Structure 1
Amino acid sequence: MPNIQWQKSSYSAANNECVEVRAVDGAVELRESDDGHVILRTTPAALADLLQGVKAGDFDHHA
């Protein structure tokens, strides 16, 4: 696998605790910057669906 650079949000905390993302072989990989050996791999469509759901409040659960 090529050494593809991880990208992080410009909104990341100064202490570098953030989620990083990169595209590899048609997939999207995500990791936490402070636990870089754990990588979640998904499709661009699945990530887009997740982000749309987050923005729409689909995962907001109020007791």
Structure 2
Amino acid sequence: MPDGLHGPPFREPTAGERAEVLRITGEEPPVLLAFEADGGGTAPVTCLLAAEDLVVRQGRFPR
């Protein structure tokens, strides 16, 4: 994620967002999260985060 993105409130994706991921990838990922972020326009943009597994780690990690 970008360095400027600090603690976005993650949420459950809507049915439409899930359907769009399924349409694009052909399968629904095991982990799918949504959040809104500043896209530089007048309104936040919706972002989707897909993963095979969920592991929560605290701290800073080098890229």
TM-score (norm: length of structure 2): 0.31
More strand per residue: 1
TM-score by length of 1: 0.31
